Amino acid sequence: MFTLLALSIVLLLAVLAVWGAVAAVLGRPPGPRYLLGIALVELELVVQAIIALVGLAAGQSDPPLAPFLGYLLVSVVLLPFVARPGSEGDRSRWDSAILAAVCVAVAVAVLRLLSLW
C-alpha cells in the first residue's frame, strides 16, 4: 500500500465528511458535486484495494489476514452501498448526514489498513 495514496484518501474523506455535515445542518440533500466527490474517493479506494491485494499476493507485507481483508472490504463496499446510485429523486438532508458519517468510518478503516500494513 502506498502511504501517500492512503493519506490522500483520508484527506478527501475528511473534506467530504465536513461537506456532508454542513449540507445536513443546512437541510440540503447531497448534490451532484458531492456525489462526484464520493465517486472519486471510491475510485481511489478501488485502486488502493488492487494495490494492497497485489502487494499481499507478492509477499510485500504480512498483516493479520482476517482484519486486513475485513477493513479492505469495508473500505471499498460501504460508500457505494450507502450512496445508493440511481436514487437521486428521493434524497433528503439525512442522506447528507449519513454519507458524512460513513466518510468518517471509511477514513478510520483506511487508517487502520495503513497501520496493519
- pLDDT per position as a tens digit, 74-99: 999 998 888 876 555 677 788 899 99
Q: Which three cell numbers stand for residue 22?
A: 454542513
Give Cβ neighbours of residue 20 (< 8 Å, ≥ 6 apart). 30, 34, 96, 97, 99, 100, 103
How would you class 35 by CB atoms within 10 Å of its CB: exposed for 0-12, middle for 13-18, buried for 19 or more?
A: middle
- Given a contact cutoff of 8 angstroms between Cβ atoms, the answer to whether 16 and 34 are in contact is yes
Looking at 11-20, 32-41, 74-83, which range is the least confident one? 74-83
Where does the pLDDT of residue 44 fall: very low under 50, low under 70, confident under 90, or very high at 90 and above? very high
Determine contact, residues 55/114, Cβ cutoff 8 Å: no
- Any idea which of 34-38, 59-63, 93-97 has the lowest mean pLDDT? 59-63
CA pair distance 13, 109, nearest whole angstrom:
11
pTM of the model: 0.88
